[in-house]
Amino acid sequence: MKYLVTGGAGFIGSNFILYMLGKYSNIKIVNLDKLTYAGNLENLKSLEKDKRYKFIKGDICDRKVVEQAMKDVDAVVHFAAESHVDRSITGPAVFVETNIIGTQVLLDAAKEKNIRFHHVSTDEVFGALPLNKPKQKFSETTLYNPHSPYSASKAGSDHLVRAYHDTYGLPITISNCSNNYGPYQFPEKVIPLFITNALNNKPLPVYGTGKAIRDYLYVTDHCQAIDLILEKGKIGQTYCIGGDAEKNGLKVAAAILAATGKPKSLKTFVEDRKGHDMRYAIDHSKITRELGWQPSVDFEQGIQMTVDWYKENQEWWKRIISKKYLDTNRDQANKRKNG
């Protein structure tokens, strides 16, 4: 079995590649990644001499590169996406280009060879849930109601994938997951940001009043779910993957401060995100019932495992933070120069 994994140098993609090659000895994986700011080949350094693994640097919007990467492939697992909500608010164009146009290019190439296509999406396409209805959750039948440029672009890609199945008969599956966390996550996302800030004795910036709730999913549980969908999932179906770990910003900060042994005084409040969805939660009963999957890592265990990883891999994230600040300063200088 040969897989094309798009965005395999990113957080979830790299964890998926490591998981699959660790579990199966008889598979091959081609990793197609543009290596934008969130892509990091250091995540896959252990595979440099593994003959089952091949890396191709390229853009999913480039048809020639996509066709090259898809040669002799049995299945595509599509992670590649612009994924940070705050960045989509300040610069939505790249989200539309990568998440919608890039997905369409991949689908066209897969259609020509009728290649199995699994599309990895997000719970954010469903919009928001009310805080005062804790039993209400997103499921495969929830209507789409995206609120940010990021979630709108992912919703568009979801619809394209389904359209290629309905129109052309392309064998597809889709998964919508809740907020992932774990090793190799880029430090702009809330959990690694809080962890790295805590380890540096810097404030943990909690949005608004800290009451917005997310359902957290440990990344290895997510990888196991995708593996099951590829093996047993029904073609044309969507599967929602949740972590059974609804936490608001205050609880996330408290858990990380406890796991790092840092004082509660590091918690601070910042201006709320524009159009902030107040609650996400996923009902994963379909994938549990049909494929036998359920999350195995609870939130407290997962946070401790993640904190331990960031403690043990400080060179990895310190280089990223240093580069991020250098890039930010350079961009600001260019704006002043050109402005």
CA distance 169 to 135: 36
In the chain, the number of structural domains is 1
Q: Is residue 69 pLDDT above 90, yes or no?
A: yes
CA distance 212 to 193: 17
Kindly state whether residue 310 falls inside one of the protein's structural domains: no
Say whether 124 is catalytic: yes
Q: pTM score, two decimals?
A: 0.93
Kindly state whether residue 318 falls inside one of the protein's structural domains: no
- pLDDT tens column, 75-126: 999 999 998 788 899 999 999 999 999 999 999 999 999 999 999 999 999 9
Kindly state whether residue 321 falls inside one of the protein's structural domains: no
Q: What is the pLDDT at residue 301?
A: 98
Q: In the numeric block, which tokens belong to residue 258?
A: 């406890």
Percent of all residues in the chain with a pLDDT value above 90, rounded to a whole number: 89
Kindly state whether residue 118 falls inside one of the protein's structural domains: yes
Kindly state whether residue 89 falls inside one of the protein's structural domains: yes
Strand order across the beta sheet in which 116-122 lies:
53-57, 28-33, 2-6, 75-78, 116-122, 172-177, 238-241
- pLDDT tens column, 12-59: 999 999 999 999 999 999 999 999 988 999 999 999 999 999 999 999
Kindly state whether residue 271 falls inside one of the protein's structural domains: no
* Alpha helices per DSSP H over the chain: 11-23, 63-69, 85-90, 93-96, 102-113, 149-168, 190-199, 219-232, 249-260, 285-291, 299-312, 314-338
CA dihedral for 227, 45, 95, 59, sign (positive or negative): negative
Q: Is residue 324 pLDDT above 60, yes or no?
A: no
Instruction: Report the DSSP beta bridge partners of residue 31.
Output: 5, 55
Kindly state whether residue 249 falls inside one of the protein's structural domains: no
Judge whether 86 and 125 are in contact, CB under 8 Å: no
Q: In sequence order, what are the residues at sequence separation of 6 or more whose Cβ sits closer than 8 angstroms to the Cβ of residue 308?
A: none
Q: What is the pLDDT at residue 321?
A: 85
Q: In sequence order, what are the residues at sequence separation of 6 or more whose Cβ sits closer than 8 angstroms to the Cβ of residue 157?
A: 81, 99, 100, 103, 119, 121
CA distance 43 to 11: 8
Q: Is residue 334 pLDDT above 80, yes or no?
A: no
**33, 82, 123, 221: which is the annotated catalytic residue?**
123
Say whether 123 is catalytic: yes
Q: What's 279's DSSP letter?
A: B
Output the domain CATH number for residue 97.
3.40.50.720
- Give the structural domain span for 39: 2-180+214-242+276-296
Strand, coil or helix: 145: coil
Kindly state whether residue 254 falls inside one of the protein's structural domains: no
Q: Which of 83-97, 195-209, 243-257, 300-314 has the lowest mean pLDDT?
A: 83-97
Q: Is residue 338 pLDDT above 80, yes or no?
A: no
Percent of all residues in the chain with a pLDDT value above 70, rounded to a whole number: 95
- pLDDT tens column, 246-255: 999 999 999 9
Say whether 150 is catalytic: yes
pLDDT bucket at 326, cuts 50 / 70 / 90: very low
**53, 59, 82, 150: which is the annotated catalytic residue?**
150
Q: What is the pLDDT at residue 86?
A: 83
Q: Please report how many Cα atoms fall inside a 13 Å half-sphere around the Cα of residue 68, on the Cβ side.
A: 15
Q: Tell me what the pLDDT averaged over the chain comes to.
A: 94
**124, 158, 221, 227: which is the annotated catalytic residue?**
124
